[in-house]
Amino acid sequence: MSTKDQYTATLEERRTKWKEQFLESLKLKFGNATEAAKAIGITRQAAYAWRREDEAFAAAWDEVNEGLKDFAESKLLINISKGKEASIFFFLKCRAKERGYIERVDINHSGKLSLEDVLAESWRKAGTGKPPDAPA
């Protein structure tokens, strides 16, 4: 085996090890790629390049993120079982929209909007019908 071949093999072995370390670090850093990369001494750009180039690595990264979602969801369900209202409301807003647990804003718009119209409406509501500095 030539020196170049040995170097390439060694580089691939190191890259494989870094990828494994990154994925483990990604779990420990709760999905924060920048912190995971920093923890093992690589750049986040390197990690994202590996993600683009290596489908298996990308799939493993996605699996870490799915595991973190499962973990967070399990904590949410624990809070719900303890009667924590904020968790209950959050769950219902996300999972029970069809039952009316949804926040929405109704916006009615005439189809035209100008600064003059907005100001005129504001002055009308203020009871003056004209700008505050307009002569009486």
Q: How many domains does the chain have?
A: 1
Mean residue pLDDT of the chain comes to 88
Domain that holds residue 75: 3-99
Name 41's Cβ contacts closer than 8 Å, sequence gap at least 6.
none
Name 31's Cβ contacts closer than 8 Å, sequence gap at least 6.
64, 65, 68
Tell me whether residue 58 is in a domain.
Answer: yes
Tell me whether residue 8 is in a domain.
Answer: yes
Reported pTM? 0.65
How does pLDDT run across 23-60, given as a tens digit for each residue?
A: 999 999 999 999 999 999 999 999 999 999 999 999 99
Smallest CA-to-CA distance from 39 within 27, 48, 51, 49 is with 27
- Mean pLDDT, rounded, for 67-82: 97
Tell me whether residue 69 is in a domain.
Answer: yes
Question: What is the chain's percent helix, strand, coil content, to nearest 5?
Answer: 70, 0, 30
Tell me whether residue 110 is in a domain.
Answer: no
Tell me whether residue 55 is in a domain.
Answer: yes
Tell me whether residue 18 is in a domain.
Answer: yes
Tell me whether residue 124 is in a domain.
Answer: no
Tell me whether residue 28 is in a domain.
Answer: yes
